[in-house]
Amino acid sequence: MAIRFTKMHGSGNDFVVIDSRDGALALDVAVIRAMADRHTGIGFDQLLSVEPARDGSSAFYYGIWNGDGSPSGQCGNGVRCVAAWLHRAGALPLGETVRIQSPSGPVAVRMLDAHQVTVDMGEPIFDPARIPFDAPHVTNRYVLDVDGQPVEIGAVSMGNPHAVVVEDAVSSKAMARLGPALTAHPRFREGANAGFVQKLSRQHLRLFVHERGAGWTQACGTGACAAMAVLRHRGEVDERVQVDLPGGSLHIEWSGPGQTLWMTGPAAFVFEGEWLDPQRDD
């Protein structure tokens, strides 16, 4: 079984994009995991499938799968890559705002140029029941027990759940332990992306993210949105913020509750290829 694909990345968060606009492609977990393997496969953080729209409100739909084969509700860097892929395919003009649908709902995208995309990521969700997160009410800070250690977090959904730890200086040793523990913490019944953010100023953040289903990534678009949203909700940052991640920088704009959050960043093409499933010879 031959599968044509495009390898892309957004600030180092890498993807395989598959054209499923005819609705014909179906992938199982084993195939996704084999493709994601960085030694024997293509290697990626997430797989993205571009599919026909599922209702009249959007131009296209895109599916998201983590490298372990699990589905994801949203991916900020991924949606920028989908937009750039559609633009190159002639389906998304420069400067035009187009709605495309993710597993967690529609988003609006606009190509600023061939490689820069701005995305309406929707309004951040702080209601614990909708994140989902086990807490009786909304607050700016929650304390979790992580192996007997209290860890303060902010909890928010950007179409997927996030635990945000704000630290003046985040040690690599502490992150290496806390990242996977927060991702799998039982109070996040569907798991969470764990972000560790350092506030450099009211307009500038540094962030590292451990993603559920993917592990540590070079960048996480929804993680950058979540970190900014948590700090903005606390009144600690301005409405326009630059977020530096290991793979590059994203620009996040959110004026506050009742408004949608916008993310702007790059999308890059790496190579085209054809995946031949080693388990099949047809």
Query: Which parts are annotated binding residues for substrate?
Result: 13, 46, 66, 76-77, 160, 193, 211-212, 221-222
Beta bridge partners of 116: 266
Residues 64, 100, 164, 220: which is the catalytic one? 220
Asked if residue 132 has a cis previous peptide bond (ω within 30° of 0), the answer is yes
**Is 220 assigned a catalytic role?**
yes
The Cα-based distances of 278 to 20, 41, 187 in angstroms read: 21, 10, 39
Measured CA to CA, the distance from residue 76 to residue 67 in angstroms comes to 16
Q: Is 75 a catalytic residue?
A: yes
**Contacts with 153 (C-beta within 8 Å, 6 or more apart), sequence order:** 141, 142, 143, 144, 163, 164, 165, 182
Strand partners, 196: 165, 208
Nearest to 154 by CA among 49, 226, 57, 212: 226
Q: What angle do CA 166, 268, 18 make, to 5 degrees?
A: 100
3-class secondary structure per residue, 142-200: EEEEECCEEEEEEEEECCCEEEEEECCCCCHHHHHHHHHHHHCCCCCCCCCEEEEEEEE
Q: Which residues are annotated as a binding site?
A: 13, 46, 66, 76-77, 160, 193, 211-212, 221-222
CA distance 76 to 79: 5
Catalytic residue list: 75, 220
